[in-house]
Copies of this chain bind each other. A is one copy, B any other.
Amino acid sequence: MTLADIPTPALLVDVAALNRNITTMARFFSEGSCRLRPHFKAHKTPEIAKRQLAAGSCVGLTCATVSEAEIAATFCDDILIANEIIGADKCARVALLARGAGVHGPRNITIAIDSEEGLKQMAAAIADREGPRRSEPDPLIGILVDINVGQNRCGVAPGADALALAQRVAATTGVRLRGVMGYEGHLQPIPDRAEREHKASAAMADLVATAHLLQQAGLPCEIVSGGGTGTFDISGRVPGVTEIQAGSYALMDTDYARLNLPFEHAFSVLGTVVSTPRDGYCVADCGHKSTTKDHGLPSVKGIPGATVVLLNDEHAGIALPQGSALKIGDRIELWPSHTDPTVNLHDLFYAVENGRVVDIWPIAARGYRNR
């Protein structure tokens, strides 16, 4: 099967580039004391996550939703849901997931909390859980206190507030305080390396200082989690940070590519040229129902001078360089500007090696599994 046989629009993964990205990142974390916990939310694809785990230097997977964790738990025993889990239904699912047997041993489930209400809800779900037990005593659910390191989204303030919440966690039955997390998401896209380095180091210093506060108070703090694809080699070298949550590095997008990271574009959206209404312009069938534009318009792969100029629901309008021979029926590939929401639009990857489709990888955790 070649690219010409794939119904469009479709998502392609370049297996060789993916493997190189995964190897590069695993090699980085094979040195130093910090390890990698790849973020499953970026690709939601078990085959990719399994390759990340197999490459080494990983302590498990990071997820954004309970549903992602339910899928990840079919092949991974140590999962951090790096997000607030609220609602009796979701807390109950986490409680049951933690009781299940892992693939290779006990299953460890850890979540983030930033409120007493969140803690109370999870504790209630643990007390209520039913069904056969995995062991005696029941496995505890790990808790990281979510710290606001400047992103100003979720999280408690570093310092005293974080310590107070950690003490409540430590005093709560059914859960186990494991440490702190703080995602410096606002710093990931800073193009200037020195500025990114300066700010990310400062954000992680806040996080580590709070971890020390917990330790000084005699509380457990084995995990200090932060970082992303834009800061993996900055935050991952701050003493005291134990895990990095990077996800986009495996597939990459044009937004992260601006940062001169050691990762390649490993996925693209395949489209078909459906209209060539005038010279120097064509329309392909891959609009923003197949590649999002929340981080800007996608780029055209492999055609120097070609530029996406419009992206409607089902149409990508492309300005072509002079003399382009692109014609109706030809295939084109777009490099998305943002990995996560683009992958979330698709049900499967066509895995490509040397121009041939060698496999189909289900994006098993997409769609309703945003919950």
Contact = CB atoms under 8 A, between A and B. Distances in A.
Chain A binding site: helix, strand, loop or mixed by DSSP?
loop
Given A89-B7, A294-B293, A315 B154 contact: yes
Contacts of A154: 274-275, 277, 283, 315
A341 interface: yes
Nearest to A343: B289
Interface stretch (A27-35, A126-134, A219-227, A306-314): A306-314
Contacts of A8: 87, 371
A199 to B, nearest CB: 19
A254 interface: no
Contacts of A283: 84, 153-154
A192 interface: no
Interface in A292-331: 292-294, 310, 312-315, 317, 327-329
A277 B114 contact: yes
A371 B7 contact: yes
B275 A84 contact: yes
B274 A86 contact: yes
A9 B313 contact: no
A115 B276 contact: yes
A272 interface: yes
A328 B118 contact: yes
A90 interface: yes
A83 interface: yes
Given A292-B292, A329-B121, A272 B87 contact: yes
A173 interface: no
Contact of A367 (B64, B114, B288, B347): B347
A83 B314 contact: yes
